Amino acid sequence: MSVASSDFKKVTTNSVQEMKRQGEKISMLTAYDFTLAGIVDKAGIDVILVGDSASNVMAGHETTLPITLDQMIYHASSVVRAVDRALVVVDLPFGSYQGNSKEALGSAIRIMKESGGHAVKLEGGVEIIESIERILTAGIPVMGHLGLTPQSIYKFGTYTVRARQEAEAEKLISDAKALEEAGCFALVLEKIPADLAERVAQELNIPVIGIGAGAGVDGQVLVLHDMLGMTHEFNPRFLRRYLDLYADITGAVQSYVHDVKSHDFPNDKEQY
């Protein structure tokens, strides 16, 4: 018997694993503030990612690297206050976990205590296993992230598709299995060939959520601002825009400016 995501009154790490077992696709979107998170949650999303992509879409940075742990806690706290049903996963930002498992644990504890988030997400494979294992000792759920890892952009030097070559593909498979064995409850695969992503999803027992990783995985994630068309210069192949809010908001603001300057707003019914 197949389970529908709507059957879960509250989505948990166990819920998303059950969705995979039953063949129910997992829906995931980013959110960074109270208002939009509330809308996304009420619309029925399964997982909300408070992504370090806030560095780009909320703060205007070129990369995800500048955002701080304090800023991630601020965004995550805003999201958690709006959410009734979705599982809230919070990115650990660059510099808060790499190379120091004790610092990683401290960062994850701060996220959980100060924001109320339900899980954390870390980028990387075997090189961060020690950090993942230490975080898990505190009972904090961890989601992994492989493929294109934006925090490593200066290492890669490009945002192009990862793991096209056999050696990198085999390392990705090995890393994915290592993350599962370490105890991650789910995994994000970003911008890798669809057949490779499908293979990983088939070989792992934990859910694999893709972004630019094809349809053969267990779920999909997009950046909310991209999906709603609030951004307009970012046009990767994997992005489907469900609205064109850039045009709609621009038009609304232009109408407001016109109405104010023409003395049309406020009218008699819009004042006391």
Q: Active-site residue numbers?
A: 190
The number of CA neighbours under 13 Å toward the Cβ of 190 is 19
DSSP type of residue 54: H
Quick check: 75 and 55 in contact, CB under 8 A?
A: no
Q: Closest by alpha carbon to 131, among 90, 99, 176, 154?
A: 99
Q: Closest by alpha carbon to 150, among 224, 72, 237, 92?
A: 92
Q: Closest by alpha carbon to 121, among 130, 133, 108?
A: 108
Quick check: 147 and 213 in contact, CB under 8 A?
A: yes
CA angle 22, 24, 25 (to 5 degrees): 145
Sequence-separated (6 or more) residues with CB below 8 Å from residue 57:
32, 223, 225, 226, 230, 231
Q: Closest by alpha carbon to 42, among 88, 8, 12, 84?
A: 84
